[in-house]
Chains A and B, each alone.
Chain A
């Protein structure tokens, strides 16, 4: 039986979330930014699972399944947009993609 205090588990999820946030803010490559968003989604789901175990309710796990669906849609659309951006600008550096019209 896991006896790790729930605060430590939440702390773990928080560290992962902030790693994702740091990645989103620091990296200038669109693929890396999308990856960082994935990390943040995942840590949010982790908090739901921790809460589900803490309160002994299945609702948290249901919410994780919804997060999974939202993430799948977000990744599909995001990668399609990245492909279009790459075809248009021939780069993925967001510092160079700062004009609405070339």
Chain B
């Protein structure tokens, strides 16, 4: 069972690295979707199948599709000058080695910590729903208000200015 967790975690990390270091936006977005799917596998292994489904449906399904739409609308493929300079291997190889040593140190330190013991019982989606609509009912309402504000804000920002076809029709 553990080996699945490690494999999924490794895939998530590798694809996230590929996503943030890619030059092409569409390739990066596909790597990011792969990373989200790997994290969803991790959620499943962590006894949260409902959250795993939500991750696939909302993150990988809805949010990433929005990203891909906008990226294709804007036709981004050009790389920036500063990025080219920063992604040059000579610039980051030594800091990366140092950071890797620091990471190995951190891992060894965490390995030597005593592991806390907890009972392992599956949390049912029913429990989550009861908690969501009883204990956190006010937070659900606030989230609804936030979503409403998001809809209005996105509509307002996304609306284009009307083009004036003739100079006599132009408003002063």
Is B105 an interface position by the 8 A CB rule? Answer: no
Interface CB pairs A-B, < 8 A, 28: A6-B116, A6-B118, A11-B106, A12-B9, A19-B13, A22-B20, A35-B28, A35-B67, A38-B59, A39-B20, A46-B39, A46-B43, A49-B43, A49-B46, A52-B48, A52-B123, A55-B118, A56-B123, A58-B128, A61-B48, A65-B54, A75-B66, A76-B66, A76-B153, A77-B154, A80-B157, A84-B157, A93-B82
Q: In whole angstroms, how far apart are the Cα atoms of A2 and B42 in the complex?
A: 10
Closest residue to B19 on the A side, CB-wise?
A35
Number of interface residues of B (CB under 8 A): 75
Q: In whole angstroms, how far apart are the Cα atoms of A6 and B32 in the complex?
A: 25
Q: In whole angstroms, how far apart are the Cα atoms of A74 and B107 in the complex?
A: 33
- Please encode chain A, from 1 to 17, with 1 for each CB lying within 8 Å of some chain B CB and 0 for all others: 11111111101100110
Closest residue to A11 on the B side, CB-wise?
B110
Mark A residues whose CB is within 8 Å of B: 1-9, 11-12, 15-16, 19-20, 22-23, 26-29, 31-32, 34-36, 38-39, 42, 46, 49-50, 52-59, 61-62, 64-66, 68-77, 79-84, 86-87, 92-93, 95
Residues of chain A contacted by B120 (CB below 8 angstroms)? 1, 53, 56
Q: A12-B9, A49-B51, A53-B48 are in contact. Are A72 and B58 (CB under 8 A)?
A: yes
Q: A32-B25, A72-B147 are in contact. Are A49 and B20 (CB under 8 A)?
A: no
Q: In whole angstroms, how far apart are the Cα atoms of A18 and B149 in the complex?
A: 30
Q: When the two chains form their complex, are residues B16 and A28 in contact, meaning their CB atoms are under 8 A apart?
A: no
Q: When the two chains form their complex, are residues A16 and B16 in contact, meaning their CB atoms are under 8 A apart?
A: yes
Known: A42-B39, A83-B73, A93-B80. 16 other contacts (CB 8 A): A1-B1, A7-B115, A9-B5, A22-B20, A26-B83, A31-B71, A38-B63, A57-B123, A59-B135, A65-B51, A72-B58, A72-B147, A75-B63, A76-B151, A80-B158, A87-B160
